[in-house]
Amino acid sequence: MNATDAPLDTSVAIETPEHIVFSYRVAGPARRVLAYLLDMLLCYGVLFVLALFVFIAALGGSMGDVKGASSKLGTGVVLILVFAAQWGYFVAWEALRGASPGKMACGLRVVTTTGRPIGFAAAALRNVLRAADALPTGYAVGLGAMALSSRFQRLGDLVAGTMVIVPERPRAATVIRVFPPPQPHELEDLPDDVRLDADERTAIEMFLRRRGTLGVARERELAEILAEPLAKRFGYRLQDPARTLAVLYDRAANAGRIEAPPSSRFPATGRAA
């Protein structure tokens, strides 16, 4: 494939502190513009309906000075709704769900440049600077910044340390069969409910697939790095850290695709240190 034939969406590799590399597909401008237009249609469509009800309620049945006061009150309520729509819509959705409805419809998600879920601070910062990205007209500044960024980051993304990605859909065929199967003595202290988030599951799958291709020392080193936080969280540890990973993975895989939220890795703050 020639460079000119490559798709606009590209990929970025991120290495975690555990030296596990994840590849994310970064969303290009075209898909992000479509998501934004869908959000505007939904947001201002709902706002129009609410404003209509407010004015009907404010003006209905009022007379004289009371009618004038009600009209001003209705205008004030509508202005508050407009402010909330402009500044609260994207912040709330992205902080709580990682994506606005428009982004969800287009298969997009906002994450930090380290691949972690964003919080309210990052969501607020990237959206407050949306006004700067829109200058001078038609999002010219934002599109220019995206064109110069390898991760298609507009100004808000650059300042907040975020990027918009196209998450890969989970594939049921990726479950690995653990061999030998967990033995009775290994199951004695194993919790009934073991949930791994998507990144943890992927990291363990990568490790289990590479077992046998790594040196003994390197294999144990990686296993200890991956197993340490899981052992603390689940209160489960075998003498062999690689076997600890395999048994925990087997229990989580048997539960289907039920996954823990990403914040489960950092229960104290919900964020990476």
In whole angstroms, what is the distance from residue 159 CA to residue 165 CA?
A: 17
Residue 215 tokens, joined: 């040196």
Question: What is this structure's pTM?
Answer: 0.58
Residues 204, 223 contacting (CB under 8 angstroms) = no
Question: Per DSSP, what are the bridge partners of residue 12?
Answer: 24
Residue 178 has phi, psi (to 5 degrees) of -85, 130
Per-domain boundaries in the chain: 10-165, 173-265
Q: What is the pLDDT along the chain (273 residues), one digit of tens a residue?
A: 344 444 445 777 666 655 556 678 899 889 999 999 999 999 989 888 888 887 777 666 555 555 556 667 767 777 888 888 878 999 999 999 999 999 999 999 999 988 888 999 999 999 999 888 888 887 889 889 988 988 899 999 999 999 999 987 655 445 688 888 899 999 999 998 898 888 888 889 888 888 878 788 888 998 999 999 999 999 999 999 999 999 999 998 876 555 555 545 544 444 433
What are the distances in angstroms from CA 73 to CA 61, 67, 208?
15, 10, 64
Q: What is the DSSP letter of 4?
A: G
